Every structure is written in structure tokens, then in C-alpha cells.
Structure 1
């Protein structure tokens, strides 16, 4: 287990995955909360059974898997439904993240999570890194990537923690507004800094 875990976060389209992929190429273990969240609701998992019990069989597709689009729409339009889902999934996701972090063998490890601050996952890390960008760039990138309208992406952004609040809470901030090489150039000294922190 690494003695230092960095929580990496950022809004939709900020470049979190590009940044975490770069850390992975440096030999750093990356635990992705989104991948964990998908894993815990796979067919046969207890969380999926509980979700079907609470929300009804319409959240299950013909092949037995989760009807993500239906559930996403449901929780987007109902705070109560969102809370119910979180009560089922968050404890299981947290337990799985803790288990994966415990198995990390790199000098330090990264927990990448879009909801690092919102879900209290920041309690699992010693330091936080925000990949930050303008709302306009977020809209352009996420819209192009997810094939969704700018309006839909704007709705998602407004539902997330405000950018300014994330900036205030993060220990380190990288501004991702240029080309990918500029992002890497900012990550390199942070990587060295984290290695130094571990060796202290």
C-alpha cells in the first residue's frame, strides 16, 4: 500500500482521464471511481439486485444488465431517487476503492473521481489535485466526446460542485486550457513533488 494517495478530480470535460492516464504511464497506480461505480452494478452484483428492488424491474434491461440511460434520467430529475441510489451504491463503491488503494504498489497512487469532494471520497486521500478548465471548454470537449448537446452538458455542469469551490478545496490545480503537451508539462513537476513527499 502506498503511503500517499492523491485525489484527482475535475468537472466533466476537464481532462481528468488524460491526466490520470499520464500518471499511469509513469508507473503510478490509478484507481478510477467511475470504473469502480460501473463494476459494482454489473450483473450478479448485490447492488444491482438492490437497485431493481428499490426502483422496479424497468431499470433492468432484457439481458439482465442495468438500464443506465433510464436510471440516469430518473436520478437527474428526482433528488429523492438520487439519494436512494447513493445510499445503495456509495458505501459499496467506497469499500471497493479502499480495497484497490490498499493493493497499490507504486510510490504513491491516484484516486481519480469526478465527485471526490461531493461524496467525501476526499477523506480517503492525503492531497487533492484539480484538473481545471473553462466552462466553455468543458462544454466543447464533453459535447464532442459524448455526442450530447451543449445544453445537456451545461445541465450536467450546473449539477456539479461549482468550479470556484473546487479551486478553493484543492491542494494543487492544473489549468488544462491548451494542447495536451502543455498539460503534461504541468503534471511532470507535480509528479516529482509527490515522489519527494513520499520520500520525506
Structure 2
């Protein structure tokens, strides 16, 4: 089993940017929980069949794929539906993440999980890297990127773990408050550290 670095951070912190730099410069494999979350509800998947069974065929688009907007509205309006959906999908996502980690071939692997802290998934990792930004920067980036108003951006951030909660589980931190910050020097140093840790992990 490879050495696993859990990469997390709040919305608009720059998780994807950091992960892509690890991948493009050092060929480190990325396992992204958001991508897996889409895979487990793909057309004809067990996840989608269960969702259709609960909500009816009108939860699907005309091509038989999931109508994500409609499902999002349903679970937003009904806490019971949200609980049911999480109970269905979280074990599937977790199992697929563990499978992908076990099949990774790079010297260590980045497990990108936006809700790592919220879902208490630190036990899937050997080390946690938090991409940290202040809330004002998060708000501005979220409003610009997602074309939402201040109130909606604040609600999204409030629904996530607090900045202090994320930092409390961090082994490593990259501060990404500045626009167009050159992240590569920090990532290079972390890469060296993770290589050393992964070597030690394999020799045990």
C-alpha cells in the first residue's frame, strides 16, 4: 500500500491547482473524491439504480444519466433524503478510494478529499496537507468563480468545516491567499519530504 497524503481545504482554496502541480511536475498520482463521487452514480451503476428506486425515473435526464441539479434540490429540501443519500454513497466512495490507492504506482499518492475533516477520513491517510486561505479570499474567489452572491458564498463556507478545524488536523500547510502565488517551491519541498516518508514507510 503506497504512502497516502490526504489533500484538503475549503472551497476555492486551490486544492486542484496544488494537486495538478504535484502531478505535472513529479508524476504523483491523484485520487480525487469528487471524481469518484461522480463515478459511483454513472449510468447503469448500482448507485444510480438505488437513487432511481428511491426518487423515481424523473430523477434522471433524458439520456438516462443523473439529474444532479434535481437531486441536489431534493436533498437540500429534505434532511431524511440527504441522510439516506449519504448512507448510500459514502461507503461506495470510500471503497473506490481505497481500491484506487491500492492500485497506485507512484512513490506516494495524493488523496484529494474536500470534506476530509467533515467526514472524518483522516484514517485513510498517512499525512494531511491542508491548503489554507483566509475567509475573505474564499468569499471573493467563490463569488467570482461560481458566479454567486455574497450570501450564497457565505452559506457554502459556513456549511464546511471551519478553518481552525482543518488546521487542527494538518501535518503540512500551504497558505494560498495571494493571487498568482508561485506554489511550486513549497510543493517541491513537500515532495522531497513525502518521498523520504514513503521510503521509510516501505522499509517498515
**Fold shared, TM-score > 0.5 on shorter chain:** yes
Displacement, 1:124?
1.1
Question: Are 1:21 and 2:14 matched, yes or no?
Answer: no
Find the aligned partners of 2:94 and 2:109 in 1 and give their Cα distance: 16
Q: Secondary structure at the match of 1:8?
A: strand
Structure-to-structure mapping, 1:12-51, within 5 angstroms = 12-25=11-24, 26-51=26-51
Find the aligned partners of 2:178 and 2:17 in 1 and give their Cα distance: 13
Gaps of 5+ in 1: none
Would you say how many aligned residue pairs link Structure 1 and Structure 2? 199
* Alignment match, 2:96: 96
8 Å Cα contact 2:117-2:165 kept in structure 1:
no
Q: Secondary structure at the match of 2:31?
A: strand
* Alignment match, 2:8: 9
Displacement, 1:28?
0.5
Question: Are 1:60 and 2:60 matched, yes or no?
Answer: yes
Question: Are 1:165 and 2:165 matched, yes or no?
Answer: yes
TM-score in terms of structure 2 length: 0.91
Structure-to-structure mapping, 1:72-151, within 5 angstroms = 72-151=72-151
Indicate how the Cα distance of structure 1 residues 161 and 77 shifts in structure 2: closer, same or farther if over 3 A, else same.
Answer: farther
Q: Secondary structure at the match of 2:61?
A: coil
Displacement, 1:51?
1.0
* Alignment match, 1:186: 186
8 Å Cα contact 1:175-1:183 kept in structure 2:
no
Map Cα deviations across residues 59-113 of structure 1 (whole Å, 9 max, x no partner). Answer: 2122211111121222233332221111111111111111111111111100001
TM-score in terms of structure 1 length: 0.93
Q: Secondary structure at the match of 1:54?
A: helix
- Larger deviation: 183-192 or 100-109? 183-192
Find the aligned partners of 1:49 and 1:171 in 2 and give their Cα distance: 39
Find the aligned partners of 1:88 and 1:163 in 2 and give their Cα distance: 28
Gaps of 5+ in 2: none
Q: Secondary structure at the match of 2:136?
A: helix
Find the aligned partners of 1:187 and 1:79 in 2 and give their Cα distance: 40
Displacement, 1:134?
1.2
Q: Which runs of at least 4 in structure 1 moved beyond 6 Å after TM superposition?
A: none
